[in-house]
Amino acid sequence: MALLKLWTLCLVLAVVFVNGWTDAPGAITGVVASGVLPYKRAVTLAAAMNLLGVVAMTALCPAVADTISGLVNFAAVDSAHSLAALAGAMTAIVLFAVGAWWFGIPTSESHALIAGTMGAAYALNQGAGIHLGGLMRVLAGLVLSLVLGYLLGWGVQRLFLPWEKHLGDRFYVRGEVGSAALMAFCHGAQDGQKFAAVFLIADWIARGLPSGRVELAGNWQVVALTALVMALGTYTGGGRIIRKVGEKMVRLDHKSALYSDLAGSISLLLTTLWGLPVSTTHTKTAAVLGVGGKTADRRVFGQMVFAWLLTFPACGALGYFCTLWFLSLL
């Protein structure tokens, strides 16, 4: 049992690491692609603001963690079967995300988390523990993040348009650093809550406690560990995603990078306060399209849309079969 708990917690951290590969780079796409900050300095900025975002929002508004922890109740005969299901869900996320990262396609570990967990719940007890209310909030967040990100990107650009000639390049360069920091803060506020909650759920199950809603406040070691592992993942492999979104899909200059960061940050902050689990990657990409949609590479954008649509069925199926495999080992 102790070995299974350790293995499951390691898989949760692996998912957090992969999130740093794929979701976290969205926060610094603009500032790197436009050349304002080199990649390593941008990652350092993102790591610090991620940590601050997790800690601040955990203390002020842990609504996203509440939604995630109340989405599925891994009720089973014993803790070992519940841990096996959670391990199956985490394995599915890692397999899918690494495959998408290899092709440089940004995916959502947030939605992969939901889909993999659902598939695992069906393998464990035919989905009896799935809460439909939580699922509807997740689907609402999926749609809202795309629509809100795009509209805010378009709106922020229109708002600044009359003032562009008067503001000058210096304003935009400095503004980019600030907006990238804000974007990273909002990413930490969103994704840090999600995976810290999953880590605590695994610990609760292993101790024989019901897998209900978790309280992040008071578990600062878990919060800090989540932020640090996420930063390490960004250092390791985030460059592929940045090149795909910020150079291949739409080439970002100082102005468009600032606009997309501001739009993405506002969208992430609003959905976090509303307790809706959303993807930083989806939100930021939608904002980038809102700012420069007319110049977007349709082929690259089509690849991203295909990966996004594939996330739910692919991760759901992987979660289901990985859970069956883990259960067969018990």
- State the pTM of this model: 0.84
Q: What is the pLDDT of residue 237?
A: 60
If one compares 279 and 213, the residue with the highest pLDDT of the two is 279
Lowest-pLDDT range of 58-72, 123-137, 234-248, 257-271: 234-248
Query: Hey, which of 9-13, 42-46, 167-171, 203-207 has the most confident mean pLDDT?
Result: 9-13
Q: Tell me, what amino acid is at 47? A: A
pLDDT value at 6 more than 90: no
Q: How confident is the model at residue 100 (pLDDT cuts 50, 70, 90)?
A: confident
- DSSP H helices in the chain: 2-22, 29-33, 39-60, 63-69, 79-102, 109-125, 132-160, 164-187, 193-206, 220-237, 239-243, 254-273, 280-292, 298-328
Q: Tell me, what amino acid is at 39? A: Y
Q: What is the pLDDT of residue 244?
A: 53
Sign of the torsion formed by the C-alpha atoms of 305, 256, 279 and 145: negative
Q: Could you state, in order of their start, the residue ranges of all structural domains in the chain?
A: 2-328
pLDDT value at 243 more than 90: no
Supply the angle between the helices 132-160 and 254-273 in degrees, to the nearest 10: 150
Sign of the torsion formed by the C-alpha atoms of 14, 32, 295 and 172: positive
Tell me what the mean pLDDT of segment 207-218 comes to. 67
**Paired residues of 130 in beta bridges:** 72
Q: What is the pLDDT of residue 130?
A: 80
pLDDT value at 264 more than 60: yes
DSSP characters for 34-61? TTSS-HHHHHHHHHHHHHHHHHHHHHH-
Which tokens is 143 given?
Answer: 């749609």
If one compares 244 and 178, the residue with the highest pLDDT of the two is 178
Q: How confident is the model at residue 212 (pLDDT cuts 50, 70, 90)?
A: low
pLDDT value at 246 more than 50: no
In the three-class reduction of DSSP (H, G, I as helix; E, B as strand; rest coil), residue 72 is classed as: strand
Query: Hey, which of 94-108, 189-203, 214-228 has the most confident mean pLDDT?
Result: 189-203
In the three-class reduction of DSSP (H, G, I as helix; E, B as strand; rest coil), residue 213 is classed as: coil
pLDDT tens digits for range 16-51:
888 877 766 667 777 777 778 887 788 788 878 887
Which tokens is 151 given?
Answer: 């509209």
Q: Tell me, what amino acid is at 176? A: E
Residue for token pair 């503001």 = 167
Which tokens is 311 given?
Answer: 């996330």
pLDDT value at 90 more than 90: yes
Which tokens is 152 given?
Answer: 């805010």
Rg (CA), the chain: 19
Q: Do the beta carbons of residue 229 and residue 242 sit within 8 Å?
A: no
214 torsion bin: left (phi>0), alpha (psi -120 to 50), beta (else): beta
In the three-class reduction of DSSP (H, G, I as helix; E, B as strand; rest coil), residue 127 is classed as: coil
pLDDT tens digits for range 111-168:
888 889 889 988 888 877 787 777 888 888 888 888 999 999 999 999 998 888 788 7
